[in-house]
Amino acid sequence: MKSLLIRVGALGGLFLLGWIAIAQAQRGGALVEKQSTAGSMAVASDYSSPAPASPERSVNPLRAPATQPPSSDIPDAEPGLSRPAADPFGLRNRYPATPTSAEEPVSSGPALAPVNTVRPVEDRYSAPPAAAVAVSEDREPAPFQADPFAVPANPTPIGESNQNPVGMSPQRGFADQAPLASEGTGQPGDPRLEGIQSPQLTIQKSAPKEIQVGKPAIFRVVVRNIGQTPACDVEIRDQVPRGTRLLNTTPQAKRGTRGELVWTLGTIRPGDELVVEMQLMPTTEGEIGSVATVHFGADATARSIVTRPQLIIETTMPSKVLIGDQLTLSIVISNPGSGVATGVVLEERIPAGLHHPAGNELEYTIGDLKPGESRKLDLPLVANRPGPAVNLLTARGDGNLRVEDKCELEVIAPQLDVAVKGPKRRYLERQATYQLSVANPGTAAAEQVELVASLPVGLKFVSANNAGYYEESTRTVHWRLEKLPAKEVGSVELVTMPVEAGQHAIRLRGTADKGLVAEKDQPVLIEGIAAILFQVADRIDPIGSGSETTYEIRVVNQGSKAATNVQIAVLLPPELQPVAAEGPTRHALDGNRVFFEGLAQLAPKAETFYRVRVKALRPGDLRVRVQLKTDDMQTPVTKEESTRVFADE
């Protein structure tokens, strides 16, 4: 008996717990209010049953609906049931939102509230409280207005679905992002899509107030665009209510990833509305219903005019410039492109051969150049070194604009070179002729050329050709030439007389404009020469045998140099016998020969005499030979004197 009571008590407790659970479930379903999801997901419910929508994530208000698989597992209508034709663009007239009969009342279900554009910044992208979006069934559905500054708030987790929302790229990490440098493919949209785009949708779901098990019923969802711009990619999602079986959908719906019904409706223009229906067969008693949501996107476009600025440099300068002269580098920088060239700067690198007071690297800020605009600049330079030069001018601007211009020129310059041709050793009193020349091996004509020859004291000016004139006070000879072309040579002649022995030099100096100077010295060794002239004569001729006569030898130095070691030797024939001799030096008799010691020096223009007295021994036509030798002579000079000796009969 006691065990029976325990069993009855346990069964009663279990029954009580089950009844409490059923009551709590029914009460919880009744307490759920009709509400709409914040963002771009509008919700409509025919009854207060909780919607079996996805609870694990919220819907992004600006996110487009996911593309659905083409296949559909929605069953066709059962036999005998009428199904309205699918007409997504004509549902407004075919299926009006107003009730068609007393059995099918239309609910003015809740719609999304407009975005509060004056909410605080920190609360701008958060969903409004549920109370703010709850709308009474007897009130006009509030329009939905998209926030143009909103950003995606609920990105789809990676891997949650293989279906990408229309018009959106899947969320990826930094490692998966496409290269930023890839080429774009977008095109500007309709000009009406420019500016703020704010389509406004209302959603309303209606169902019969009462239906019977086994009798088909139609649940209807109406979406209207009450905004001023089209709503794109409109999609309605709804669940088949628990306790019913789906018979048909109008238009044809597809199954979502969680088994929900999905209607992809495309674009709803301002003022249009679309209606979707599901035909259900109730299978159990009780309260049934589901929550319908609408997803949509808004298109916006913006356009810009892409321009391309360009830079062109044109430089003008002479191809040749004379050294020391100033030249002007004319620079024209222009923008033939279609956009403004900003931050334009000119950079000049002055080459060797040209000079600017500010240095060799110059920079000038142009600033902005409008399309078609040009600027002209003049850069003064001075040529200071002969030879070729390459001027490099660079212009750069923002956006990697860069252009260079090279200009070649040649700095030409005259040059002077002087030369002297003539004897470097000359004897006194013997004229010396010199060829003087001035050459221009440069690349430009030398102007105002003057050639000056300075004579030493050992040379006396005699004459000069080509209008050369002699200044006695400075002992200089001058020639002038207006212009000496490049690669040309000018020559003059100078005649001088050596008047003083010694080492001397002729100095030649050439000058021209541009500070050109050339000098050269020509050394000249001036020496004297001993020119000995001697004569031999007999005082008595003819003479008789046994008689005497005297031979007189006269020695004269006609040269400009003293003769040294003057030696005289007299050679007598056998018919003559030396008797006596006299002269400036001692003598010696050796048979038929008479020798005089060498005279140390015989000055120029000086003379001396030697005498030899002889006796005739036999008659005959006799020849006396006298030999003269000095240090300047390599071989003796011999002269003869004839004497006639006769015999008395």
Above 50 in pLDDT, residue 454? yes
pLDDT in tens, 139-194: 343 333 333 323 333 333 333 334 433 333 344 444 444 555 568 788 887 887 78
Q: Is residue 218 packed enough to be buried (19+ CB in 10 Å), middle (13-18) or exposed (0-12)?
A: buried
Give the Cα separation of 74 and 490 in Å (integer): 116
Provide the pLDDT for residue 179. 56
Above 90 in pLDDT, residue 413? yes
Q: Which of 477, 633, 639, 493 is nearest to 566 (CA)?
A: 633
Structure tokens at 45: 């419910």
pLDDT in tens, 441-450: 999 999 999 9
Above 90 in pLDDT, residue 101? no
Question: Which range is least confidently modeled, 13-22, 419-428, 494-503, 631-640?
Answer: 13-22
Average pLDDT over residues 373-388: 93
Structure tokens at 405: 């211009």
Q: Is residue 17 packed enough to be buried (19+ CB in 10 Å), middle (13-18) or exposed (0-12)?
A: exposed
Task: Tell me what percent of the residues of the chain surpass a pLDDT of 70.
Answer: 72
Around Cβ 53, how many Cβ atoms within 10 Å?
19
pLDDT in tens, 415-441: 999 999 999 998 888 899 999 999 999
Give the Cα separation of 503 and 501 in Å (integer): 7
Give the Cα separation of 506 and 174 in Å (integer): 91
Above 80 in pLDDT, residue 310? yes
Residue ranges and CATH numbers for the domains of the chain are 42-118+127-146+193-302 (2.60.40.290), 315-412 (2.60.40.10), 417-527 (2.60.40.10), 532-646 (2.60.40.10)
pLDDT in tens, 65-92: 433 444 444 444 333 333 333 333 333 3
Q: Which of 158, 153, 135, 132 is nearest to 58 (CA)?
A: 153
Reading phi first (left if > 0) and then psi (alpha if -120 to 50, else beta), residue 247 is in alpha
Provide the pLDDT for residue 181. 57
pLDDT in tens, 27-55: 444 333 333 333 344 445 454 343 433 33
Contacts of 605 (CB under 8 A, 6+ apart): 556, 557, 558
pTM tops 0.85: no
Task: Tell me what percent of the residues of the chain surpass a pLDDT of 90.
Answer: 52
Amino acid at 226: I
Provide the pLDDT for residue 169. 38
pLDDT in tens, 259-304: 899 999 889 989 999 999 999 999 999 899 999 999 888 888 888 8
Average pLDDT over residues 509-515: 93
Higher pLDDT, 214 or 161: 214
pLDDT in tens, 347-366: 999 999 999 999 999 999 99
pLDDT in tens, 221-274: 999 999 888 888 899 999 999 989 999 999 999 998 888 999 998 899 899 999
Above 50 in pLDDT, residue 573? yes
Q: Which of 419, 490, 423 is nearest to 459 (CA)?
A: 423
Provide the pLDDT for residue 529. 83
Above 90 in pLDDT, residue 381? yes
- Quickly tell me which residue has 């059995």 as its tokens: 103
Provide the pLDDT for residue 162. 40
Average pLDDT over residues 624-629: 93
Q: Classify 396 as helix, strand or coil.
A: strand
Give the Cα separation of 395 and 366 in Å (integer): 9
Above 60 in pLDDT, residue 490? yes
